Amino acid sequence: MDRQTLDRLTRLSQLQLSAEEERLVLDDLGHIVALIDEMRAIDTDGVEPLTHPLDMDQPLRRDAVTEAVDRARFLAVAPLTRDGLYLVPKVVE
C-alpha cells in the first residue's frame, strides 16, 4: 500500500484524513495487504471449501406456519385499497 493508492481511495470514498490518520491507515492497510499476500501463497490445491469452519450440522427450526394473516384487518387500516390490494402513489413517471 502506497501513498498514491491511499490518496485515490480517500478521494473515491470522499474521506478527509489528518496526517496522523493517513499514517495509521497506510500502516493498517499495509498489514492487511501483506496478510492477503501471505494467504494467497498457501497451497490450497486439493482442499475442499468449507461451508462452516467447525465440523457440525446447523440446527434448523421446523418450517411451519406460526401465525395466520388476517388480510381484511390489515387492509382495513390502509389509506387506500382496491380489490384486496394496497394503492400507493405513483413515484416514477
CATH code where residue 36 lies: 1.10.20
Q: What is the pLDDT of residue 15?
A: 93
- 12-35 average pLDDT score: 94
CA angle 40, 52, 61 (to 5 degrees): 155
Q: How does residue 24 score in pLDDT terms, banded at 50, 70 and 90?
A: very high
CB 22 within 8 A of CB 6: yes
Write out the residue range of the structural domain in which residue 26 sits.
3-40
Helix or strand or coil: residue 85? strand
- 26-42 average pLDDT score: 95
Cell numbers at 77, concatenated: 387500516
Q: What is the pLDDT of residue 55?
A: 78
- 9-20 average pLDDT score: 94
Chain-centroid distance, C-alpha 14? 20
In a domain? residue 50: no
DSSP category for residue 20 = H
Total domains in the fold of the chain: 1
38-93 confidence digits (pLDDT tens): 999 999 999 988 877 887 777 888 889 888 889 999 999 999 999 999 999 988 87
